[in-house]
Structures are given as structure tokens and as C-alpha cells.
Amino acid sequence: MGEENRMAEIVKGAVMDAWEIMVYGVAVDADAKGDKKRKMLLSYKENEWKIEGVTKLKALLASTQMHENPEDAVMHFIKYAEYYLPRSRFENTLRVILEKIPGLRKKYEGAPQDLLTHIKYMLGYLAWDVEAYCNVLTYAGNDPNKVKEELRKMFAAEFSVLGDEKNKLEEYVSKLFSLWNSADKTGGRKGDEESEEE
């Protein structure tokens, strides 16, 4: 496989992995799921949507740059994630990331630099995905039809390049819309009052 094709495959895989972490990890962690003792991490304040605690997600990328040896860098990233993500309430995000590592190791067996490159792209895209999601919600102006429309546009644009992942479009839209739909859109977060009373 030529260098150009190799990088294209790495990038494509990293894009899809990042969205899977976003949908099955970050979005799950950001939702209080009816637990009165847990506030939603997705919040709407001053006409802007944000997911709180994302600095730890963004710091994951920096954790891959602490060692020159790619295998050491991957191990340091794993230890960093295991330590910091649960403390920021990203337990499901950690689970999804850790579940991906064995498969990536097998895929890039004998090519540790490619493994590290994939992980770096994956984490960078994850940070962008979080920002893109919040920007879409803010742009949609709390109109449910507009939220769905803009989510579909976002995924359609990416999946049109990836080629064979269009079947996941509606599932991803549904899950991310559901997260937004369960959040308080008045400037607070559902469950705040109940949490404070207990």
C-alpha cells in the first residue's frame, strides 16, 4: 500500500472511531439519564451549547506526545485516559476508547507508528466532533427540526467522503438529537434543583 493510500485509510478509520466515541461515549456521559444526583454535562447558557469537562478530552491528544517511542506513547495515553476520564465523568467514553485499542493494535501489528498516528487523529477528531456538535445545536436555535436537519447535513457531508458508512447516519442523528432533546433549553440543566435539594 502506498503512503498516500495508507494515510487515507488511517484518517478514514480515525474519523469513524471518533464519531463512535462521541455517540456511544461522550453523548452517553453527557446525559444525566434521569439520575437526580448527576447533572447533565450538556448545557445551554447565554445562547450557547457546551459540553462541560471537555478539557480532559482535549488533553488526551497531548498525552500521546509525551514519549518519542510510539509504543510508550500509546501506553502513556492509555494510563492518562484511565486516570483522568472517570474523574471528569467520562466513564463510558473511557470504555469505548479502551475497547478500540485491542482491535487497533491487531490492525497495526508491526507498525506502532501507524497505531499512534491513528490514535492521534482519532483524538483530534473527537475534540472537533464535540465542538461541531455544540456549534450545530447553537446554530439551530433550539428548533428541533433544525437540529435534526443540521445534524443530518453534518453527517451526510462526512459520510459522503467515507463512502460506506451512510447506514449509520440516522442512528447517529437519533442518538445526538436525543441527548439535546433531554437537556434543559432555558439556560439551566434538568435535575439541578433536585440535586441541590438532596
pLDDT digit string, tens, across residues 121-180: 999 999 999 999 999 999 999 899 999 999 999 999 988 888 766 678 999 999 999 999
Domain for residue 194, yes or no?
no
Domain for residue 39, yes or no?
no
Q: Which domain, by its residues, includes 151?
A: 3-30+48-180
How many structural domains compose the chain?
Answer: 1
Domain for residue 90, yes or no?
yes
Q: What is the mean pLDDT of residues 68-88?
A: 93
Domain for residue 112, yes or no?
yes
User: Rounded to two decimals, what is the model's pTM?
Assistant: 0.88
Domain for residue 87, yes or no?
yes
pLDDT of the residue at 19: 96
Dist. CA 99–CA 103, nearest whole Å: 8
Domain for residue 196, yes or no?
no
Q: Per-residue confidence at 68, pLDDT binned at 50, 70, 90? A: very high
Dist. CA 19–CA 63, nearest whole Å: 20
Domain for residue 122, yes or no?
yes
- pLDDT tens digit sequence for 4-34: 788 999 999 999 999 999 999 999 999 976 6
Domain for residue 186, yes or no?
no
